[in-house]
Amino acid sequence: MKALVLVSGGLDSTTSLAMAIDKYGKENVIALTVAYGQALSVYYGQKHTKEIEAAQKITEYYQVEHISLDLTPIFQYSDCSLLAHSDKEVPHESYAEQLKETDGSPVSTYVPFRNGLFLSSAASIALSKDCGVIYYGVHADDAAGNAYPDCSTTFHEAMKQAIYTGSGNQLTIEAPFVNMAKSEVVAIGLKLHVPYELTWSCYEGGDEPCGVCGTCIDRAEAFRLNGIEDPASKKKEA
């Protein structure tokens, strides 16, 4: 079987890519990156291209076929703080702190139905490339408190059924981390020797991660719980 993996260039999707390669072999894995920005690479109008650049390095490291997709026009009406046309600032606080201010609504960095669009686009490409499964790297921490509703188990199961039915029972989706914390994702990645030094998670686009946005905070804590320093941080200090 061949697998298509959504790869943003971040920690979770890169670990998902490593799992697919470990199971199917690199010759049977295709990475898709979507620009807004994630190995399906999809561009969707994000404020920087650091993740996309990371996705390129990661797919070169693993020597897998890499497809890029630009979904920017679809998100031109969104005021999500991650997108280049938005005047909103990316919050510099944890997701838990942000959720206290949203009254149960998604956080400002939620891109409207992003994963739904990514998976639907990936399904069409996967069928055309004779793939039988799509991997993507959502995890339980992102779904907590409804921060990112398209990272939840409920969303995953609904999309899995829709894609399976809509593909004529030819295609399924796998979210191996949907019930795991980010620290558990890191633990798996360390066993698979994932090149975390090549990944980029920060929502800001500086030369170095900001360390204070929600995803930087989550990433640092995930490595801390595994008893090691983030390899990407160590690389910058060297």
Q: What CATH code is carried by the domain that includes residue 192?
A: 3.40.50.620
Number of domains the chain is built from: 1
- Reference 34, options 108, 113, 121; nearest CA is 121
> For position 238, what pLDDT does the model report?
47
d(CA 195, CA 223): 14
> For position 147, what pLDDT does the model report?
85
Given a contact cutoff of 8 angstroms between Cβ atoms, the answer to whether 39 and 13 are in contact is yes
d(CA 115, CA 184): 21
CA atoms within 13 A on the CB side of 27: 0
H/E stretch holding 136: none
- Going by C-beta distance under 8 Å and a sequence separation of 6 or more, which residues neighbour residue 75? 36, 44, 45, 83, 111, 112, 114
Q: State the pTM of this model.
A: 0.89
> For position 38, what pLDDT does the model report?
29
Given a contact cutoff of 8 angstroms between Cβ atoms, the answer to whether 5 and 34 are in contact is no
Residue with tokens 């072999």: 25
What are the distances in angstroms from CA 110 to CA 28, 78, 105, 217?
Answer: 32, 10, 10, 17
d(CA 210, CA 161): 38
Range of the structural domain that residue 213 is part of: 3-237
Per-residue pLDDT of the chain (238 residues; tens, 9 = 90+): 999 999 999 999 999 999 999 999 999 999 999 876 323 444 555 545 788 899 999 999 999 999 999 888 888 888 777 777 777 777 777 777 776 777 777 887 788 899 999 999 999 999 999 999 999 999 999 888 888 899 999 999 999 999 999 999 999 999 999 999 999 999 999 999 999 999 999 988 778 898 998 889 999 999 999 999 998 875 555 4
SS (H, E, C) 64-117: CEEEEEECHHHHCCCCCCCECCCCCCCCCCCHHHHHHHHCCCCCCCCCCCHHHH
Q: How many CB atoms lie within 10 A of CB 45?
A: 22
d(CA 21, CA 62): 8
